[in-house]
Structure 1
């Protein structure tokens, strides 16, 4: 798949999650947590593949893109810091919704800059075959990308390639433990309150 189409598809996925979060009511704590977890996962993976492939490619193609890429990396850093903060609190916390609102505003701005400025420039600098090769590499990298934010990790090659491989291992363990804990809670709830678990 074309790299820019792949990234744009990711952007639409994140926007759908944002809209679902905005529609969730104040008391929809579980739904907000589920959506926030998905946002964290999607943005962590997306940032990883942009930092490993898109931004280095852009800088190699044109020195004129350096400042734009550096700004995008700073936006990623701020987003990862906010995502890491969101992982530490729950939607019942009074700071959760404001943090999500700021994150959504920043990510929407970031997406707009990429889709309206950076992507068209890259489309002019790369042919369809190059975009397809880059897209294939990104699709493969998604399977190995971190699923949680790591704001203090390097965000440029070669440091990010090594740190993200290690982060993926840690994240896989974290995801496994969380999934096991959720399954155990559901099983206990079902045994203690069969009527509630059948709903």
Structure 2
């Protein structure tokens, strides 16, 4: 299960946790951009990628970004990161609308590649700029506290998605 795979010891700071997530996302990116990978492999990898990315982004915005956007020196980079998350969300919604889990077309593949490119850029920029700002502006203890809160937020997001998927019935129109 994805959440167990990503759980860390309580004393992990936010930057350690994010690097771990980034490593997993980068592995998925390699598969999504691999022209030799078969469609079913890309479909499965994209589902895994999106699941992690959604939880990661939501938890990151609720924790690290919430702190950094209140500090003048890190506001621009933080807002830029949030905008990149928003662009990813649009692509994720479009991929969902195209039923990528049961269907694999050239359009879906193109959107998956663009999503992976945006995320790869976001990861590189975040690790280069935002992480350096966080290390300079926050204490080790603050990074650990944010990391603990991140893990809680990530788990809560995962739990909400599980519940939502259990009760979501996409092929049935609900009438009031």
2:146 counterpart of 1:134: yes
CA contact (8 A) 1:20 1:35 kept: yes
Between Structure 1 and Structure 2, whose CA radius of gyration is higher? 1
CA contact (8 A) 1:49 1:138 kept: yes
Matched residue of 1:23: which SS? Answer: coil
Q: Determine the structure 2 residue equivalent to 1:122.
A: 134
**Structure 1 residue 24 displacement after superposition:** 6.4
Unaligned runs of 5+ in 2: 1-11, 169-176
RMSD of Structure 2 on Structure 1 (CA): 1.9
**Alpha-carbon distance change, 77 to 100 in structure 1, aligned in 2, over 3 angstroms:** same
Superposition TM-score, scaled by structure 2 size: 0.80
Q: Determine the structure 2 residue equivalent to 1:152.
A: none
Please list the CA deviations of residues 62-115 of structure 1 after superposition, one character each: whole Å capped at 9, or x if unmatched: 212212111111111000110111122225222011111111111111111110
Matched residue of 2:69: which SS? Answer: helix
Superposition TM-score, scaled by structure 1 size: 0.71
Q: Determine the structure 2 residue equivalent to 1:19.
A: 30
Q: Determine the structure 1 residue equivalent to 2:75.
A: 66
Higher relative contact order (CA 8 A, sep 6+): 2
Aligned residues: 154
**Alpha-carbon distance change, 36 to 47 in structure 1, aligned in 2, over 3 angstroms:** same
Unaligned runs of 5+ in 1: 148-167, 179-199
2:56 counterpart of 1:53: no
CA contact (8 A) 2:61 2:82 kept: yes
CA distance in 2, matches of 1:48, 1:21: 22
2:153 counterpart of 1:144: no
**Structure 1 segments (4+ residues) deviating >4 Å:** none
